[in-house]
Amino acid sequence: MTKEQRRKNLEVPTGPIDVVIDTDACNEVDDQFAISYLLKSREKLNTVALYAAPYSWPGKATTQEGMEASYQEILKLLKLAGEEKPAFRGSDRYLPDKDTPVTSEAVRDLCERVESYSPEKPLYILAIGALTNIASALLLSDKVKENAVVVWLGGHGHDLGWTDEFNMRQDLAATRIVMTSGVPFVQIPCECVASTFGISAPELKEYLVGKNPLADYLANNILTAQKNAGEAKWSRILWDVVAVGWLLNDNSRFMLSRVMPTYTPTDDFKYELIDGAPESSYVFWVNRTALMTDLVRKLTE
């Protein structure tokens, strides 16, 4: 890929594009919104496959259990949305080191799928979990770096001073592989950026509850989670939706970003700039009203 083409692939795409989504769909209540938004944005985004990403919680879920729960949640959402799309189980463990991939159905599908694309017509990989599947594919196939663009919701904003964020922390080796690989890479940070995209209980009840089975499911997931939280929760952040929004960000209608050298995480979760770091696109501001309006419209039409 030429430097000029790589720069072009860091821009918001125009026209219809093919997308795969890699998601820890059962870890939180925002992945479901992102998956649904992606499926309902078919005017521009053609979802060609869905991959289950691993996640884990000590004493609650192993990486294998987290991945399997995410796979089952993907199937449930496809049924609620009335969609038939290929779905694949991902890695059942994190990378053991920076050189060893973890193979899975999702990784094999991605490696095969990118063969049909090119730098001029790339496959967009929407990653909203740990980067285990994507890093494994990069280690196994040079075509991923050439023929794909990775859009990732992960890490925190540079201004925060630290980046001990769930998606990044779960598989730090995978994070570093993807961020330094040279694949065209878009980062949507969590705190300081995606954290501004929240929705409240009154908004859920006003705009989503009772509209259709999918909207009901999404809204009630949050309302139940808030009720069970045991403390006052004024709103719930829909982190992962922002990643889908970047693909729809024609004319910067939903967010602003800049192209800059990629800052990677250290072992103690600070950002550092290494020599020869590739450029990436870094989102630094989200227009909450514009993005929420589009999300609600599509979920209820």
From 152, 165, 189, 160, select the one nearest 285 (Cα to Cα).
189
- The yes-or-no verdict on residue 229 having pLDDT over 80 is no
Give the count of beta carbons closer than 10 Å to the beta carbon of residue 59.
6
Classify residue 84 by its DSSP letter.
-
pLDDT reported for residue 232: 57
The CA distance from 255 to 245, in Å, is: 8
pLDDT reported for residue 225: 85
Q: Is the pTM of this model over 0.75?
A: yes
The CA distance from 297 to 301, in Å, is: 6
Q: What is the CATH number of domain 3-300?
A: 3.90.245.10
Q: Are strands 271-272 and 264-265 parallel, antiparallel or unpaired?
A: antiparallel
Which pLDDT band holds residue 230 (cuts at 50, 70, 90)?
low
Classify residue 170 by its DSSP letter.
H
pLDDT reported for residue 78: 96
The CA distance from 96 to 256, in Å, is: 35
Using alpha carbons only, give the angle 175, 182, 109 rounded to the nearest 5 degrees: 70
195: helix, strand or coil? helix
Which pLDDT band holds residue 295 (cuts at 50, 70, 90)?
very high
pLDDT in tens, 164-213: 999 999 999 999 999 999 999 999 999 999 999 999 999 999 999 999 99
Task: Take residue 24 and report the two structure tokens written for it.
Answer: 């820890």
pLDDT reported for residue 108: 98
The CA distance from 21 to 131, in Å, is: 11
Give the least confident one: 4-13, 87-96, 228-237, 276-285: 228-237
Q: Is the dihedral of CA 119, 177, 246, 278 positive or negative?
A: negative
The CA distance from 68 to 142, in Å, is: 28
Which pLDDT band holds residue 228 (cuts at 50, 70, 90)?
confident
Residue 112 identity: E
> How do the domains of the chain map onto residue ranges?
3-300
Contact call for residues 197 and 243 (beta carbons, < 8 A): no
pLDDT reported for residue 231: 60
The CA distance from 19 to 106, in Å, is: 14
